[in-house]
Amino acid sequence: MLRGTEEAGGRPVAIAGAPAVKERTDRLWRRATEVAIIATAMVAVGVSLVVARPVLVPIVAAVIIGSVIGPAIEAMGRRGIPTPVGSIFLVALMVAGIYGLAVMLATPLAEWTARGPEIGGILQDRFASFQPMMRSIASFVESIESLGRVAEPPMKVAIADSRMLESALGLVTPVIGQFILFVGSLLFFLAGRIQIKRRVVQAMGPRTTRLAALRVFREIEDRLGAYLVTATFINIGLGTATGFVTWALGLPNPPLWGALACLLNYVPYVGPAVMTVILALAGIVTFPTVVHGLLPAAAFLTITSVEGQLLTPLIVGRRVSLNPFAVFLSMALWTWLWGPAGTFLSVPLLIAAMALMDSAFAKRRPQLPG
């Protein structure tokens, strides 16, 4: 069938399939427009997340923790305790625990910080045999960087007044503000959690959609609770074992190492690696030989390997199955957007996203063999 015409020598000539070609072209342009809109929206969201980081990080952390301890508020309400009272009690208990931990660790942290120059000298002596090799590498790198560099006059060194107090205040003040925002967000989220959930669900369309939204909320809370509560008990056990091992090996301040091991273990892969390096440096500084100094790090590496390869997959894997590649991508993304705080929040955010996707695409997922 001939469709469309064009003028050729004054006579109309039929062109086959012109509307079909135009339709394909229009469809291609629509797809390109949709992709451009989605890409622009993703860039805008990413920029917004970075700009609003000081506000979003404490609020997101409060929502995650509030979703975990929210069922405890409901249980207290069934026993006759009003929701505001239960919320204030739990938040006050959490703040008291954080304050007690900070007070307990303040002294050993101050001691190690005050020993900074001494630690630098000890490390220099321990690794004196590696200094020629390091100087050769540094000289090679300097020679490569100096190629094509314009000679500059000698640098004039001017000794400025110390501004350590201003720098410390500039660092501490935002942290205090974000902590207050976190506490306030957690308190009000716990107090109005049921009303927030009810209004979000009621704003949706048909009854089936509302029931599906309730299932999604419940699934997210169950998975977050299963992961965070179980991981907290596992990390406390790891911290206790680390403190006991460092005490048995004679490393000073065992509570400090146990608390650091507990906190850093919330960050998969990176946290235990950082803790191993910290224990290696502390051991090398404390003990007379490098081999003796590496014993605390080796002992911690053994404990965390058993925990990471056996205990955590056995206990947590029953409720929450996490793909290592997805965990790595989530950590990279949220660390890039929100810094160290994003690293700690990356796994809970990944769990919430996985619960949402599993609930949304459960019926569409085909049954594949194997």
Read off the pLDDT of residues 138-185 as tens digits, 9 standing for 90 and up.
Answer: 666 666 666 655 545 544 444 444 454 444 445 556 778 888 899 999
Q: Closest Cα partner for 279 from 240, 310, 245, 306?
A: 245
Q: Closest Cα partner for 93 from 183, 170, 166, 22?
A: 183
Phi first, then psi, for residue 114 (nearest 5°) are -65, -25
Q: How confident is the model at residue 135 (pLDDT cuts 50, 70, 90)?
A: low
Read off the pLDDT of residues 221-230 as tens digits, 9 standing for 90 and up.
Answer: 888 888 888 8
Q: What percent of the chain has pLDDT over 90?
A: 12
Please give the residue that has the higher pLDDT: either 293 or 142.
Answer: 293
The whole-angstrom separation of Cα 358 and Cα 352 is 10
Strands (DSSP E) along the chain, which ranges? 5-8, 11-14
Q: How many CB atoms lie within 10 A of CB 243?
A: 21
Q: Closest Cα partner for 341 from 96, 133, 58, 16?
A: 58
The whole-angstrom separation of Cα 60 and Cα 42 is 19
Lowest-confidence pick of 119-123, 264-268, 337-341: 119-123
Mean pLDDT (whole number) for 77-82:
86
Please give the residue that has the higher pLDDT: either 67 or 119.
Answer: 67
The region that residue 66 occupies, defined by phi over 0 for left and psi between -120 and 50 for alpha, beta otherwise, is: alpha
The whole-angstrom separation of Cα 27 and Cα 21 is 10
The pair of structure tokens assigned to 370 is 């194997």
38: Cα separation from own chain's centroid = 25
Task: Say whether pTM exceeds 0.85.
Answer: no
